[in-house]
Amino acid sequence: MKLKPQDLKSFIDKDRRYKRAEALLIGQWESLLLSEPWDMPMITRADVSFAKTLSEANVVKTDVDLSTFKGVQAFISHNSSRLTPDVIKLLKEPFL
Domain holding 39, by residue range, is 5-95
Q: Are 25 and 54 in contact (CB under 8 A)?
A: yes
Domain count, the chain: 1
What's the pLDDT at 1? 77
What's the pLDDT at 25? 94
pLDDT tens per residue across span 29-86: 888 777 766 666 789 999 999 999 999 999 999 989 999 999 999 999 999 999 999 9
pLDDT tens per residue across span 28-45: 988 877 776 666 678 999
Rounded to two decimals, the pTM is: 0.88
For residues 41 and 25, the model is more confident at 25
